[in-house]
Structure formats: structure tokens, C-alpha cells
Amino acid sequence: MAQPKKGNQIDWILFFSIIIILSIGTLMVFSASSIWAEYKFNDSFYFVKRQLLFAGVGVVLMLFIANIPYYKWLSYRNIIFIVCVVLLIAVLIPGVGLVRGGARSWIGVGAFSIQPAEFIKLAMILFLTGFLVKHQNKIQQFKQGFLPPLAIIFLLFGLIMLQPDLGTGMVFVLTCFLLLFTAGAQIKHFLLLGLTGIIGFVLLIASAPYRINRITAFLDPWQDPLGNGFQIIQSLYAIGPGGLLGVGFGNSLQKYFYLPEPHNDFIFAIVAEELGFIGSMIILGLFFIFVWRGMLTAIYAPDLSAKLLAVGIVGMLTIQIMINISVVIGLIPVTGITLPFFSYGGSSLTITLCSVGILLNISKYRQQTSSV
């Protein structure tokens, strides 16, 4: 592949939007987790210290990766993909995978743990990009271009569901479909896939009672306010009192053991409670700037591989943001998706920052036809 001509600088608007979002997210992890950390570890800074470590390592990796040409990663996509698939399989082995919250999703590494399902998302973006570029002229053919990547997607989705982790599986599949669509797959193939997907989704829901309970809790959480509906009710109790300006940073009431582990998936509820509607809209505005600059990077990318990588990374994070916030405000059932740059967690935060490192590198090669 001919190497594209590199510009002089990364997209600084994109870069600073990431840093600002990450900084606010780290502050909110401290506020949301301080009470729980004091109770469980006798150290109100326990979670934020670890989050700062993850963020520091992640930012260093992001800056390092931002200086590596994006096409170099595509050269090693098969190795990266195989390693991540092996980890995804290893997590299912008793004694290797750690069970938390009923899901076998982590592998212990010393005092820390990694979540292979987070890594497979980026690995699949790299792998699928390479495949689609190589078979660009076949993508509109169902058997030769559309079906092979589809088989791999659903095989890995099956491994993720064995943990089980429906939320991560949804993000994984939707991101892959976005890449297929961007590469030129035919709409009729997606319609056929959509019909099959609806049937499969219904079967997935029906196969596990806890998923059915989540659906019923979503439709009417007050039918079981102390059980399946508890989390979403407490989330709404946090958002409501926030009002226009919020109750003030650090002044949340729901983090006092009402909202379970508020520094994780439901951290946006604490954001809404403490910073109010205006603060929440500012954060959503920052996310919008990130998505806007990321999509500009994709639009003005120098070649198809760069375009697909940028679309995959921005799409993956956008899907996570939309699903997480929709869950927190009660628009969709609970899925267990973290909020990028905000939710506590080493694997999620580190892989997110590594991903945007690749995105920042692509922005260096943006075609100069753009004036923005």
C-alpha cells in the first residue's frame, strides 16, 4: 500500500475535547465513588487513584500511538486479532476467568484485571478494516464479500455472550455492521440480516430469565422497586433533583448507597444530579465535538483503510455513549455498558484512549481540501 502524505499536526480540537472529557470524567469518578470507597476500603480516594493511574497510562499510550502511522497497525492486524481472540476464549476457562456480577468477563493480572471483550472491539475494527480493503470489490456480493466477515462477527459475538455480556456484544456487532455499511455492503443484505437479528435477539432474551426481568423492569420499574427495577428507579431519583444547575459537585445523595456502584455504568446519573441539566448538556456538547471532529477525520481520510478505521473507532464510542445515556435516563433496558472516558475501569478506559490515539494519528493525514 502506498503510504499517504502526512500533515504537520494532529487535530487539536479533537485532542483537547478528549482531554477535557477525560478530566471531567476523572473528577466525577472521585465524586461518585468517594462514599463507597470510604466504606469498602477506608480510603475515599481508592477508586480515583486507580482511575488516575489508568488515565495516565492511557494518555501516554494515546500519545505514543498517535505518532505511529495508522497503516502500521494494519500490518499487524492478524497477530493482534489472534491474541485478542485467544484472551476472549481464555476468560471462559474456570480458574483463568474471574466471575464478577454473575459474568465471567475478566482475567486477573496481579492486583489488576483485564477485560478481553474490550480489547476484541478494537482488534476487530483493525481486522475487519484490513479484510474490507482487501476485498473491496466483493463486498456487494453476499457469499464472497458479506458472508465471511459476518460469520466471524457472530462467532465472536457468541464467545462474548458465553460470559455473558450482552451490552459489549451489542456494541461489538453494531460497530462491525457500521463498518460493513461504510465499505459499501448492500442495504438488502442488512434488511435480511435485521430480520434474522430480531429473531435471534428474541431467542437471546428468552434464553435467560434475568434478561426478561430487565425488559419488564424497563417497561415498569415500579412493579419491582426493590428488585429488578431498583437501579433505574434510583437513577431517575438522581436525575430529577438535579434540576437546571444541579445540587453541586460532591453533593449527590444517591451515591450514599442508594444507586449501586455509581462510579460505573450509572455515573451519568450522578453527573446529572450534581451538575444539573446545564452541566449535563455541556458534557454532551463535548461528546458532540469529539464525534464531529472524529467524523471529519473519517470524511477527509486519505484512503479507505483510514476512513474505515476512523469510522469504526468513532462509531464504537458513539454507540457506547448513546446506549449508556439511554439506559441511565430510562429509554432502553439496562445493558451494562460503560460511559467512555467517565466510567471507572482500567480495560475500558485504556483501550478507549488507545483507540483515539489511532484516530489522532489519522487526523495527521487528513486531506487538505478541508478548511475545518
Confidence (pLDDT) at 107: 84
Confidence (pLDDT) at 308: 96
Confidence (pLDDT) at 213: 67
The 3-class secondary structure across 48-114, one letter per residue, is HHHHHHHHHHHHHHHHHHCCCCHHHHHHCHHHHHHHHHHHHHHCCCECCEEEECCEEEEEEECCEEE
Confidence (pLDDT) at 369: 45
Q: Say which amino acid occupies 329.
A: I
Which residues, at least 6 apart from 163, have a Cβ–Cβ distance to it below 8 Å?
91, 92, 97, 103, 104, 105, 117
3-state secondary structure of 244: coil
pTM for this model (two decimals): 0.91
Q: Report the distance separating Cα 333 and Cα 321, nearest Å.
A: 15
Q: In the chain, where are the structural domains located?
A: 12-364
| Residue 192, all three cell numbers | 435480511
| Residue 34, all three cell numbers | 468517594
Confidence (pLDDT) at 310: 96
Ordered per-residue pLDDT tens for the chain, 372 residues? 556 665 668 899 999 999 999 999 999 999 999 999 999 999 999 999 999 999 999 999 999 999 999 999 999 999 999 999 999 999 888 878 777 766 778 887 666 778 888 899 999 999 999 999 988 888 878 777 788 898 999 999 999 988 878 888 899 999 999 999 998 888 877 787 777 777 776 776 666 666 666 666 667 777 767 767 788 888 888 998 889 999 999 899 999 988 888 899 999 999 999 999 999 999 999 999 999 999 999 999 999 999 999 999 999 999 999 999 999 988 888 777 899 999 998 888 999 999 999 999 999 987 654 445
Confidence (pLDDT) at 370: 44
Confidence (pLDDT) at 81: 95
Q: Helices 147-161 and 166-183 meet at what angle, rounded to 10?
A: 170
Half-sphere exposure of 71 (CA within 13 A, CB side): 15
Confidence (pLDDT) at 293: 96
* Contact predicate 311/232, CB 8 Å: no
Any idea how long the chain is? 372
Question: Which of the 8 DSSP states describes residue 144?
Answer: I
